[in-house]
Amino acid sequence: MFVYSSKRRALLALTGAIGVTGLLAACGKKDVQFKGSDISGTKLGQDMAMQDGSGQVRTLADYQGKVAVIFFGFTQCPDVCPTAMAELSQAMTLLGDDAQKVQVIMISVDPARDTPEVLSAYVQAFNPSFVGLTGTPEQLSTTAKSFKTYYAKSAGATPEQYSMDHASSFYILDQQGEARVLASGNSSAQDIAHDIRQLL
């Protein structure tokens, strides 16, 4: 027969309480596994400040409550950007009703040519809910640095026929505006939709 001291009983009770609390916490925590790279905790994009189609400056705070998918591109991009936007449009279709909880945002790396009106018309041709953000060169520089993304002007046959080199990744942010996933530019609509669902 075992005899437990009052101190030992108190210790066992405390240990049991901690164990139960841990189990309850584990039950409430969603186990997320992304197809893209997990960038949780990086705080990428926190200095985003660009203009929407009406000329209003938008920050990540404006999109809290939704999962945001952010892509850097430009309207005169011949292949990468339209392909990326088409994949995002398909991802929205795959999400069904959950697409209402998502905001796709294209940030222009070519503010000289991509006026708010031009950019809005471009992104909404892929999906009416998509948002285009442009701005001054200074706004773009600050925003791009915040996401640690790359862009540069590439000379063309004439000064007006230049192109833009840029990274083609998708940044997926959770409903609190925290960067969570960096998806490759050649990610499929299925993979993008999968990672978005992990954050809904």
45: nearest Cα among 187, 180, 186, 185: 180
3-state secondary structure 110-155: CCCCCCHHHHHHHHHHHCCCCEEEECCHHHHHHHHHHHCCCEEEEC
CB atoms inside a 10 Å sphere around CB 27: 7
Pairing of strands 151-154, 50-51: unpaired
Give me 127's structure tokens.
Answer: 């999906």
27 is in an annotated binding site: no
Contact in structure between 105 and 48 (CB atoms under 8 Å): no
77 is in an annotated binding site: yes
194 is in an annotated binding site: no
107: nearest Cα among 59, 61, 39: 59
The helix (H) or strand (E) run that includes residue 68 is: strand 67-73
Which residues participate in the annotated binding site? 77, 81, 166
Which residues participate in the annotated binding site for Cu cation? 77, 81, 166
